[in-house]
Amino acid sequence: MKASVTKVDLISQSKNALARFWADTLKIEPTRDGVSIALPLLYPDGLQVVANLKPLAERTALLSDRGEVLANLTNSGFNLESEIVKKLITERLQLFDLRRHGLILEKQIRLPIDGLDIQLFGEALVSLAHLIYRYEPETTEENVADRTIQKLFLERGLVPKRNAILEGRVEKRIQVDYFLEGERGFALEVVKRKHHLVPYMEQWGWRWNDLRTKRPNLIRTMVYDPDNQHWDDTALAIGRSVCEVFCPYFEQEKVQKAISQR
């Protein structure tokens, strides 16, 4: 029996579906020195790829991940200075013509903007993020904040969802460390990064706000370790502005109160 859907139909449906997906996923917002671009690409953990773009001169601009990819690899236990990891990173930097400054990955592009430059930069970040599947990382340092939160749940007889995937209005797969069901819902993220906390918190600020548009009453919580992380006033201010609870991990009474309100 001949198919009722023609090739022309498939072409039209494919174009329309992809156009809707890109329109729903792509989001561009102003930052302090340029714009933040949420691309229709996902990292291995399901988080959306966000590139930052700022002008350099009349005909040049700079794309950057603001340290997100390599910092996440470090947090996963990677020794970025080991020979095998350096070799894998260098191969991808050369392939995609990127520059590395500490943890930050950058690419200079010409203006006016060519969309292909931004797309290839995003694909380069995804490629580097997939190094986690190419190399067995060293044992990670134990995170005292995460251990404290786990103990708090255990003592209260609670079993949260680990690495829960929540849906925002734009970003459809936002992963949080812990999630408890309830009338409002309680989501908690433990800050594991030690350095470059402003861009990290800017991205989480965007994610928390995106979740808020989908679940207006969600209790958004983040805990951090002020003794072992390098915080400044800007990073702290972002956390306080987007979370119902944003506090050091040892202020457990604040977390307990938020859990009881879920």
CATH of domain 25-133: 3.30.1460
**CB burial class (10 A; 0-12, 13-18, 19+) of residue 180?**
buried
Half-sphere exposure of 175 (CA within 13 A, CB side): 10
CA-CA distance, 242 to 240, in Å (whole number)? 6
pLDDT at 78: 74
Cα–Cα distances in angstroms (integers) from residue 198 to residues 30, 160, 201, 234, 240, in the given order: 15, 28, 5, 7, 13
pLDDT at 88: 83
User: pLDDT tens across 184-200, in order?
Assistant: 999 999 998 887 788 88
HEC letters along 3-17 = CCCCHHHHHHHHHHH
Half-sphere exposure of 213 (CA within 13 A, CB side): 11
For the whole model, what pTM was predicted?
A: 0.53
Q: Are 28 and 37 in contact (CB under 8 A)?
A: yes
CATH 3.40.1350.10 positions along the chain are 144-260
Low-confidence ranges of the chain (pLDDT < 50): 136-141
CA-CA distance, 191 to 136, in Å (whole number)? 23
Q: Are 53 and 34 in contact (CB under 8 A)?
A: yes
CATH of domain 144-260: 3.40.1350.10
Neighbours of 226 (CB within 10 A): 13
User: pLDDT tens across 158-188, in order?
Assistant: 889 988 899 888 888 888 999 999 999 999 9
CATH 3.30.1460 positions along the chain are 25-133
